[in-house]
Amino acid sequence: MTPVPSRIFREYDIRGEAESELTDENVLAIARAYGTYLRRAGILKAAVGGDVRLSTERIRAAAVEGLRSCGVDVVDLGTVTTPMLYWSFFRFNADGGVMITGSHNPKNMNGLKLGFKKATLYGEEIQKIRRMAQTGDFDFAAAHGTLEKADIADEYVAMLASKVRLPRPMKIVIDPANGTAALFAGKFFKALGCDVTALYDTPDGTFPNHHPDPQKKENMRDLARKVVEVGAEAGFGFDGDADRIGVVDNEGEIIGGDILMALFWREILPKHPGATAIIEVKCSKALEEEVRRLGGRPYYYKAGHSLIKAEMKRVGAPFAGEYSGHMFFADEYYGYDDSFYAAARLLRLVAAGNETLAQMRASIPAYYHTEEMRIDCPDERKFDVMKQITAQALKDHDAVTVDGVRILYDGGWGLIRASNTQPVLAVRCEGTTPEKRDAIAADIRARILRAGLPDFQWKM
């Protein structure tokens, strides 16, 4: 038996090439390890769901079998979004769960997100699952766990629609990008009372129109055009498993995740005066400034959905988010990332006011930034390279080092960090003027080249 490859066990999930790395044998081993992990913690029930990727059904079946072989009772949700899987923890009182999803990664990839006590495993706990899977540390049960199949779509849509009431009907465009959101988004937004125009709303795991990653501008172009064409008030793009959101305003301009958070804090902080605000290291200085203006207490923290959700619980934060479009609402919601809910909260914010979404966006300072660039760096090298870059940066600048190094310059900052999901370093810069941004970008590029990494050209 070939051991399960170590490289697929990431910081906050498991991801690999579907056919060569997430084989039935490997998924069985992972699921048996996870089932044993649950049983040893006294957890007897887990929900399992998956996205629309072509490999997901096979992987889901292997995961269900592995869990049941260790005596875990399984609720098989079929094809669902990741937020639906998260909600099932509460609906079925299940303290375990597996979501089979490749999220925004290439279509030949897939992965497993592992739930534990209504949160997700990360870090050392993922490595514990790895060691158990590789050594065969399994507790098989005398009798298989039970299997219950459940269709929660209608219940989930009704739950969401009961959480957010819009003061008036709104005209929107949605782009599920042929991902899992295609099965549910139209139904939900119509239940909210929206006039919905939908692009690419047929599920197709080959993603024929564009990749399901709303963080990339090229994947939002069709949505932006359609919003302007039909005179919509907002447009929403979704990633493959619908836990991340991309937003276009009524003028067809993309609103970054950090600016979106600043808008949400305007509604949330008055209800939670002086609240702690977790700011992911990738985010604009404008977000920190807006939180301070509203009376919040901001501090920088690591990227990663599992890491931020755990930190939210630790400090009692009512809300947090990621630049990539994960939005975590503990205010009025369960605390997990749900793109449909985030979209509904934004629509409520717009509908309750007198400004268009474009006017709201324009009220947040527009600093000048690069796109996030991803520089190839092998997994086995990237953390050593980061140590080298960080040590040098601290010799000549102040910096935030909670996740990679956010180097602080006069009039801006530059971030270099190791990705937890891909063999790359992620880099991004921001300046208060285009000239300051460009100077910072040149310095960051020079640091990347000095570390022996490939050259690249910034996208602005």
Helix (H, G, I), strand (E, B) or coil at 72: coil
Nearest to 98 by CA among 61, 138, 142: 61
- Angle, helices 82-91 vs 153-163, to 10°: value is 90
Nearest to 80 by CA among 96, 101, 62, 95: 101
Helix (H, G, I), strand (E, B) or coil at 97: strand
Active site residue 103: yes
Reported as type and span, the H/E element at residue 15 is strand 14-17
Are 213 and 422 spatial neighbours (Cβ–Cβ below 8 Å)? no
- How would DSSP label each residue in 124-171? HHHHHHHHHHHHT-----SSPPPEEE---HHHHHHHHHHH---SS--E
Radius of gyration of the chain (CA): 22
Nearest to 116 by CA among 176, 198, 61, 34: 34
Catalytic one among 55, 88, 103, 339? Answer: 103
Known catalytic residues are 103
